[in-house]
Structure 1
């Protein structure tokens, strides 16, 4: 096993390189551990050939990849494969008698009176779902032995059907995985090279529908994601990268690429999760305990919450929305996403109703203003028309934007049919986009029992700072923070990610009957497994942190909530403290609790985290309240509805602003990959680390 220091010394590597692929841009952040410097890069994403976009980003930043020792990567390839339904031809092997549980699901019907309601569609059609003669009981004992001859026969049949992936779900394998392991072995013997996923490898929890959906999703995306990661790994080797390759999980933690190629579904929200980790680092630096992390890129807008210094997490997610959801039963940061980004297309629907997104122009062809063949106006085009983007200074002047062509497209496609001017149409597009994006914030705050107005909103992503103030006003948020390098922030956040392994065991015990010795034995087993995984890693963390938790519910309830439980609760064998913690979490989540009611302990959870060295963030030069003269780049006309139209607006260069500088709205603050809009009535102050802390509105309002 090689430590970080030894790895760097052995390969002359001293760069930690992080790359995040988004729907429009691919972002790069590099931490030089030799001199403590950070550098960034950005290039358009190259869909179909994602590796080319990564190499373009590296080339554009002048990165010396042969000096790297750690390559960190987040990508939307897994989630896009699920949402676009273009994954592998996948088969399902399932316990006899349970062929249709994947299709039956939970029979959720959230809108009882919707005559056009349609339920979820399985990723695997019924014709590719096959029953395996076997049965385990709930305690893991064998009720009916596995029919290996039948499994082998099924495997040969699957080979004749040219399946690319196989998912395996056998009842109660979370208690005893022996049957699943044997089925996997037989399939691999009969169909060499096929991608195989057994449910126990991903989830050690009960609930057969959620487990089969998780296994099916992993198998469905597996061949594509595994091939892509393998291609990228080979490409890095060809370019002389001597270090180790780690992927970002949906928890924001890192795991080796060989694990990511098997457990691809853990990468579903890798990029957005890294952004939340970056926001957590900013909050820790500023002593800010509670914040909303809001990320707006080219395709989507995402929101997560940091509470008491930690990101709020979930033990599962519903991919595709509640109505048609495919559940994924793995730990992840609680992130809600809406299909509104800078590239979201504005179009007229039946009755000339204006709609923005979820369709996106992406990077190909991109917004009209990119001059890459786009013909449909987007949110980015609207910002250009309103003067909030500069046609001559986009990405520091590297990409010239077509303002006249954008105005023509806006007039032809939107404004003309609505009987509006193109400026009014552009303003309407932004108003609709802001309302849609505010729903993402509400989903992780109001719907979780939290008051959004009590949080500071940390806004990033290339398009986020353009709309931060408007979204905050929509939600009653009074404080907004635009962090360092917002246009590269998800890649930047990866540099703050730690090695992480999550474990869960379903136990089903009444709290009042709990055997602490039994529970302690389960926790020790999970901890040992996690420490071994860290020990097997190519890099050695600076320290190891262990977090315990449990899923709990009141007796008689069906669903549980996850509760973080300090180890001292178990050391003291303090049932009352465990119950009080559960009651408080339940009250926040549901607005009510029942301290007098008994509770069940459903599952035990453990996170084993290997703490990595974090990049420093040095203080910026201190100045006065007045920005230095050279920070003012220009004065231009920018549209603000509250002012009744275009008003003369100062434009500042963010890299030249100093700590203590105060900028009153209306104003624009430009940097290489993003522009911050400071609306009339807002006041932005540059803090000691260069963050823009914006007070929404003013004392006089």
Structure 2
């Protein structure tokens, strides 16, 4: 019998989530999930342990698995924690300080003691060599090959583990970068090398050099991990294809991921956004907020017309919360979202002004929150939820863990006792603070995107999303919330919904008054071929869809707007139509176009991906009787501070059409859904929990 099951694994800071699906032969799917603690010292061990657990649940073997998809935050964490390889940068003479100077902007112009993000490569290892190209790629100064050889000898003596090469204008002509790489490989074949002309072939030196340095910084770590995991899967009997989730929402091969690991920085959160987009498509909801709260971070993402927002730039390791420009810039395709240190493991403390602070520091998986009984002594959000009665100590994580309320109370009193609050009231303060932090992140994200929350719904998932979802929704003024099935491992399920895809970006400066159609068409054809070649390695003959984008601006402006191009050889009429489309797009942002001004194109992007299958519409279901509570437990409501007995229902016992009034808890293996006072929870025809505020059951 051919293998038909699909397996996905998502490594988070606290838990590693597994999802396994197989067609049931009747047009539906069987699904099994598992959640195990992440093993930070050797992440592949947690993945393999989770795989064994989920296969045992399903009664399947490795031979039954047709595809394995993986996402991880390891690359992000390595940059944030500065635990990557010792990296050097080979760059054009006179430009060694580009990484430190950046664009000379200040993310807080009134802070006299501002702290700027430090480059991943120290100045001592930023090595200049004589060479120079002009802005059209013509050689002004040939590459000094002797200087390159001297730099390699210096790097060997310094114990460098990875190399980034970034030359001026290499995005137009990569010849000098390629020759320098050849020399390095002749002298030092085992040294990992990242070229800016391959990692981020776009203009703007700071972003290009920063992205290339970050790729080199995490490449040895990620390549080693991916190869260990691949070997572990093979030893366990897996022979199926192995794909990685990209930050932009597509899948790629392990070989491509190991070469460009910087494209994995948001792979886990990207899976969550894909999951939300799929659920929104099923429900026919065109405007939603994806709310993914895990053990270490919370992620919010706006989704319109069933498509997550995307961006060309991303910042990692921000020094200032919510402050653009306070992190290291990465120029990669990414699903745009706000990510903050607000998860179940986020640690609570008291600041110098006597205020409760939560995060961004996390207890992680080792030792974890105090209630895990693994050596943690600082109170975390999970400890606060436990003290508020939101969790049952004996059945946490499907009964795989037994929590210790006494340890939570001790940690809460030791850390927050100076405020004069008993542990339960301190816990209420912790939860209110973390809920407000997440709601504020959602507000900021909407404002920066020029959007609002009127008529929008929240899709909550992750281990903590359904627990905190209703309160965050109240704070941002949303009255409808959805908790899909499998919410506790939503990102892993999202991996199974993602297309196999890849984006290629190239810079080619053009003005419409002197537009060179032949050059543009040749470039787009080359980019399309490269993207298709990458995707076809894992598409297995599936239909492919292509999208072409030009990033354009009025001459003299500082930022571009994306305009879609037709997927064909451009004719003269197409050029006029694209120019008109830019004016329309510009007016959409700024109310009116700029008449008489020429438009310049800075870069082009081509994305090729397998086509997304249409979602089946949700069947209407008749009202069904509500299930009986499996128990009652005292819960302190965070909005009013009252302690009441909340009924607890088993989600598996609810039938489509059944509705229950809040306050209540709907429990399942990987998470619990809190239905606050004034809310009603109804199970729809897909088995999803739809919460509505102000509607009686």
Do the two structures share a fold, i.e. TM-score over 0.5?
yes
CA distance in 1, matches of 2:482, 2:103: 41
Q: Which residue of 1 aligns with 2:360?
A: 358
Q: Name the counterpart of 1:3.
A: none
SS of the residue 2:259 aligns to? coil
Query: Which runs of 5 or more structure 2 residues have no equivalent in the other structure?
Result: 319-323
1:6-32 per-position Cα deviation (integer Å, ceiling 9, x unaligned): xxx8xx533221100001100001122
The structure 2 residue matched to 1:409, chosen from 404, 408, 411, is 411
Give how far 1:604 is off.
Answer: 1.5
Give, in angstroms, the shift of residue 143 of structure 1.
1.4
Cα shift readout 1:571-616 (whole Å, capped 9, x = no counterpart): 683556535544555466x5544353633322221111124779x8
> Using a 3 Å threshold, how does the CA distance of structure 1 residues 699 and 669 change in structure 2: closer, same or farther?
closer
Of 13, 18, 21 in structure 1, the residue corresponding to residue 8 of structure 2 is 18
What's the secondary structure of 2:149's corresponding residue? helix
Paired with 1:110 and 1:83, the residues of 2 have a C-alpha distance of: 18
| 1:161-212 CA-partner distances (Å, limit 9, x unpaired) | 2210010001111111111111111111111211110101111211111110
Name the counterpart of 2:474.
473
Distance 1:29 1:618 in 2: 23
* 1:41 matched to 2:34: yes
TM-score, normalization: structure 1?
0.93
Residues 425 and 49 (structure 1), Cα distance of their counterparts in 2 relative to 1, 3 Å cut:
same
Which residue does 1:682 correspond to in 2? 679
Q: Do 1:449 and 1:591's aligned partners in 2 also have CA atoms closer than 8 Å?
A: no
- CA shift in 2, pair 1:516/1:663, >3 Å: farther
Q: Quote the Cα distance in structure 2 between the aligned partners of 1:181 and 1:541.
A: 33
SS in 1 for 2:76: helix
State the distance in 2 between where 1:148 and 1:642 align. 68
Q: Give the match for residue 17 of structure 2.
A: 27
Contact 1:542 1:612 in 2 (8 A): no
Question: How much does 1:82 deviate?
Answer: 0.3
Q: Secondary structure at the match of 2:353?
A: helix
SS at match of 2:481: strand
The answer (yes or no) to whether the contact 2:300–2:339 under 8 Å persists in 1 is yes
Change (3 A) 1:77 1:617: farther
Mapped to 2, the partners of 1:376 and 1:547 lie a distance apart of 49
Aligned to 1:196: 193
Instruction: Give the conservation status (yes or no) of the 8 Å contact 1:512–1:575.
Output: no
Asked if the contact 1:66–1:239 (Cα under 8 Å) also holds between the matched residues in 2, the reply is no
What SS does the corresponding residue of 2:666 show, helix, strand or coil? Answer: strand
Q: Write out aligned runs for 1:135-534 (5 A).
A: 135-321=132-318, 322-414=324-416, 416-534=417-535
2-structure distance, mates of 1:578, 1:664: 53
User: Contact between 1:621 and 1:658, CA under 8 Å: does it hold in 2?
Assistant: no
Counterpart residue number, 1:4: none
**8 Å Cα contact 1:642-1:680 kept in structure 2:** no
Report if the CA contact (8 A) 1:620-1:690 is conserved: no
Q: Does 1:605 align with 2:605?
A: yes
> Which digits, 9 at most, give the CA deviation of each residue in 1:86-127, with x for residues without a partner?
111111100112111111111111322212102221111111
Q: In structure 2, do the counterparts of structure 1 residues 376 and 292 end up closer, same or farther at CA, with 3 Å as the change threshold? A: same
| Residue in 2 that maps onto 1:657 | 654
Q: What SS does the corresponding residue of 1:573 show, helix, strand or coil?
A: helix
Q: Which SS does the other structure have where 1:434 is aligned?
A: helix
What residue in structure 2 maps to residue 596 of structure 1? Answer: 595
| Per-residue deviation, residues 346-384 of structure 1 (Å, max 9, x unmatched) | 111223221111111111111111121211111111111
- Deviation at residue 261 of structure 1 after TM alignment: 0.8
Q: Does 1:695 align with 2:685?
A: no
The equivalent residue for 2:43 is: 50
- Tell me, in whole angstroms, the C-alpha distance in 2 between the residues paired with 1:339 and 1:597: 47
List per-residue Cα deviations over 1:670-698 (Å, max 9, x = no partner). Answer: 11101111111112222211112222345
Q: Is the 8 A contact 1:132 1:151 kept in 2?
A: yes
Distance in 2 separating the partners of 1:71 and 1:395 = 24
What is the number of equivalent residue pairs in this alignment?
Answer: 684
Choose from 82, 85, 89 the match for 1:88: 85
Match of residue 101 from structure 1: 98
- What is the root-mean-square deviation of aligned Cα atoms in Å? 2.3
Q: 1:623–1:658: 8 Å Cα contact kept in structure 2?
A: no
Q: Give 1:557-568 correspondences, 5 Å limit.
A: 557-567=557-567
**Displacement of 1:513:** 4.5
Q: Using the alignment, how far apart are the partners of 2:67 and 2:192 within structure 1?
A: 27
Gap change, CA 1:624 and 1:404, over 3 Å in 2:
same
Of stretches 673-682 and 685-694 in structure 1, the one that deviates more from structure 2 is: 685-694
> Does the Cα contact within 8 Å between 1:301 and 1:440 map onto a contact in 2?
no
Question: Per the alignment, in what secondary structure is the counterpart of residue 454 of structure 2?
Answer: helix
Aligned mates of 1:217, 1:471 — CA distance in 2: 34
Q: 1:535-585: CA deviations, max 9, x gaps? A: 3x1451421001121212223201213334454895683556535544555
8 Å CA contact 1:342–1:378 kept in 2: the answer is yes
1:488 alignment partner, SS class: helix
Give ranges in structure 1 of 5+ residues lacking alignment.
1-8
For residues 31 and 699 of structure 1, do their structure 2 counterparts lie closer, same or farther at Cα, with a shift above 3 Å needed?
A: closer
Q: Name the CA distance, whole Å, in 2 between partners of 1:646 and 1:215.
A: 54
Could you say which residue in structure 2 is the equivalent of 1:125? 122
How far is the alpha carbon of 1:656 from its aligned partner?
2.1
C-alpha distance in 2 between matches for 1:651 and 1:673? 15
Is contact 1:619–1:690 with CA below 8 Å preserved after alignment? no
Residues 114 and 636 from structure 1, CA distance in 2 versus in 1: closer, same or farther, beyond 3 angstroms?
same
> In 2, distance between residues paired with 1:651 and 1:579?
59
Task: State whether residues 527 and 608 of structure 1, in contact with CA within 8 Å, keep that contact through their aligned partners in structure 2.
Answer: yes
Asked whether the 8 Å contact 2:252–2:534 carries over to 1, the reply is no
Stretch of structure 1 that moved more, 637-646 or 49-58 = 637-646
CA gap of 1:377–1:400, structure 2 versus 1, over 3 A, is same
* Cα distance in structure 2, aligned partners of 1:389 and 1:346: 18
Instruction: Classify 1:325/1:585 alpha carbon distance in 2 versus 1 (closer, same or farther; 3 Å).
Output: farther
| Separation of aligned partners in 1, 2:51 and 2:63 | 12
